[in-house]
A and B are shown apart, each in its own frame.
Chain A
Amino acid sequence: MSNTSNAALGLGQSPALASGFQFPSIHNFPPFYTLQPTASTWKNQADLWSTIVIRYYRHHRLYLLDLDDSTITNEQLFNNLRINRKLKPETIQAIVDEMVKKGDAEWDATSKKRRAIIYWRKPEDWAAMISSWVFESGLNNSILTYYEIAHGDNSEDQEFYNIHPTVLQKSMDILVKRGVAATFQGANFEEMGVKFFRAGA
């Protein structure tokens, strides 16, 4: 939406770092890991963190932020070994709370704020993307399984390949609600079926 200034200011990923994620310099700013006591500063801090989280998740095609999973992914994002600073869990929660307000994340209601889905694309956008892929590939005549959408040979080159089940379900719900698709119960989640009637998600 506000990409104009980004390009002008050289925000684009450096090609040399295409495989890794290039953190902005503020990620090395020690106070960035302390929840700032001044309200306006905290607001800006939370915005900056949201931007980094979204970019990081988009770059690595991640969906689930799990505070109890301290392996690899969150480790790099919230724990800066170079300057020996890391975000406390309650600060991460506060950041996610801010993201939830803006629709950039959603807490798993059963997790007591330990797990959240990060929406580096909104469910509406995923829905539109999946729908146009179905019609462009002529897959609209048969029933597709969730597995075929998320892990099928046909979708391997798609951005939604390996999409998180929760996000996939949300996207399908949107399409059903708009009357452009119908879902069918399967033996398990991956065998759930979906039939598309028309494009126009």
Chain B
Amino acid sequence: MEQLQNQLDTFRANLETFARQHRKDIQKDPIFRMHFQKMCGNIGVDPLASSKGYWGELLGVGDFYYELGIQIIDVCLSTRALNGGLMELSEVKRRVERMRGVRDNKAPAKSGNSKWAGMIKDTGMEVTEDDVLRSIKTLAPLGSGFQVLDIGNKKMVSSVPRELNKDQSVILGLVQQTNGHVNATVIGDKLGWEGGRIKTALDTLLDDSLMWIDMQAEPHEYWVPGFFEPEEDDIYAASATE
């Protein structure tokens, strides 16, 4: 038993040395960061538990996730007006990276000069979806109401304290397969629900600002704005009285 403890201590000491030496890589390289996280997890160390803790200070990783957390909050709040506070994880990641100065993959490169493209990409500010998930977890104690929901086959970041009921979740999942919009007929066909149940679910989704209705379509079409965009603009973040 004592031997095991010694081994573990040695291992921790090595891990510390390793972490100190690779502090930069941990901060900048998302793959490296992920492997380091796994390594720490194996011996029961969570360097992200607090930015004030020993590990946090040693590595500055606490700062990394703290900064990322602020950026996630910023992205979610600035788009809440449109999407009702529900956003795909991949979209949160994309917007956070743009905020951090990472070149947007969706935007075509202006010049074909691969040397430059490579240099711009190498800003070390990329994050992984895993980073975003971890960061959201660290936001939880703040009572922020931030949580990650599994809807359909996607992970969605919710920035509003809420509980989606089963029917709401199922419809949101269905909408992922129908280009971001749906109507009562389609829901009836696909899910076999009767009219009253469909109407109730859609009405509550409107009430929660998760859906917008298009009454110029027949039958009325219900849209999830979070699934609609994302083009290269950000009027959602702009105040109307600029």
User: Is B119's beta carbon under 8 Å from chain A?
Assistant: no
Q: Are B82 and A26 in contact (CB under 8 A)?
A: yes
Minimum CB–CB distance for A98 against chain B, Å:
9
CB atoms of B228 and A29 under 8 A apart: yes
Please report which residues of chain B, range 220-237, place their CB below 8 angstroms from some CB of chain A when the two chains form the complex. Answer: 221, 223, 225, 228-237
Q: How far is the CB of A93 from chain B (nearest CB, A)?
A: 17
Instruction: Output the least CB separation between A84 and chain B (Å).
Output: 8
Contact mask for chain B residues 126-158; partner A; CB cutoff 8 A; 1 contact, 0 none: 000000000000000000000000000000000
Closest to B222 in A: A31
CB distance B215 to A34 under 8 Å? yes
Most buried by A among B98, B207, B214, B235: B235
Interface size class of B (residues with CB under 8 A): 20 to 34
A2 touches B214 (CB 8 A): no
CA distance A92 to B85 in the complex (A): 26
Complex Cα distance, B219 from A130, in Å, reads: 53
Complex Cα spacing A30 to B221, Å: 9
A76 interface contact, C-beta 8 A: no
Instruction: Given A38-B209, A41-B212, answer yes or no on A47-B81 (Cβ-Cβ < 8 Å).
Output: yes
How near does chain B come to A109, taking the closest CB pair, in angstroms?
A: 23
CB closest chain-A residue, reference B205: A38
- B240-A25 in contact (CB<8A): no
Cα–Cα distance between A34 and B212 once the two chains are bound (Å): 9
Is A6 part of the binding interface, using a Cβ–Cβ cutoff of 8 Å? yes
Q: Within 8 Å CB of A33, what residues of B?
A: 214, 216
Residues in B whose Cβ lies below 8 Å from that of A86: 216
Convert A24-60 into 0s and 1s, putting 1 for each residue whose CB lies closer than 8 angstroms to a CB of B.
1110011111101110110011011011101000000
**Complexed CA–CA distance, A2 and B242 (Å):** 5
6 A-B pairs with least C-beta separation: A31-B212, A25-B231, A9-B234, A44-B81, A24-B235, A31-B214
Binding site for A on B (CB under 8 A): 78, 81-82, 84, 98-99, 181, 206-207, 209, 212-217, 221, 223, 225, 228-242
Write 16 A-B pairs (CB below 8 A) sorted by A numbering.
A1-B241, A1-B242, A2-B239, A2-B242, A9-B99, A10-B234, A31-B212, A31-B213, A31-B225, A38-B209, A44-B82, A44-B209, A48-B82, A48-B236, A51-B238, A51-B239
